[in-house]
Amino acid sequence: MPGDKNGFISIKNWHEEDRPREKLISKGREVLSDAELIAILLGTGFKETTAVDVAKLLLRENGNDLEKLARLTVKQLSAITSSRDAYDYLFPYLADQPHEEFYLLLLNRANLVTRHVKISQGGVSGTLVDNKIIFKMALEELSASIIICHNHPSGNKNPSQDDITQTKRICDAGKNLDIAVLDHIIFTNDGFYSFADEGMI
């Protein structure tokens, strides 16, 4: 089976009899593992991770408890694979806000959101953020990584010098705690700025 340069093999390149959907059709659900059944429901994985791998991570993160997994919300089951995903996830919370708010997305090893938290709320031109609160929540949630996000009510997507300085401080703190800061999104109603996309993280 052909893989990429890192040896990753997508499901579409698996032998047909090993693909979960084809196996379901030809042999019935009884022969599929829980992970394979969940993978069919997920429909897709993300970069260098198949839907089956995502399903296995989901099960592991929830103690192989299908009942607990079933209680997760759609948002909790959404894998964040890009800055656009993070922006779309937070759009209902930050759209049309007249003041700055700072949000934290807590992610597990499968890049699935386990929780989102509003860290602070300020005025039209700024909000104070305490790094200790960010990482206290990340540690309590046993997060593998985090994404931070705040809005600019002015509609200006560009980061201020304070935004850049604050991002560096948060990233440095994350490295010390082995919690990756995947991105800092500056949110506006008309689009966003991603520190990760711009090579700032």
pLDDT per residue as tens digits for the range 4-32: 544 556 777 787 777 778 888 888 888 88
Distance CA 201, CA 197 (A): 8
pTM above the 0.85 mark? no
Distance between CA atoms of residues 83 and 166, nearest Å: 19
Q: How far apart are CA 194 and CA 178, in angstroms?
A: 22
Same domain, 26 and 115: no
pLDDT given for residue 93 in this prediction: 92
Asked whether residue 88 falls in the same domain as residue 16, the answer is no
Total number of residues shown for the chain: 201
Q: What is the tens place of the pLDDT at every residue in 33-45?
A: 888 888 887 776 6
The CATH number of whichever domain residue 156 belongs to comes to 3.40.140.10
Instruction: Give the range of the structural domain holding residue 176, as residue numbers without chain letter.
Output: 83-194
Mean pLDDT value across the chain: 85
Task: Say whether pLDDT at 71 is over 50.
Answer: yes
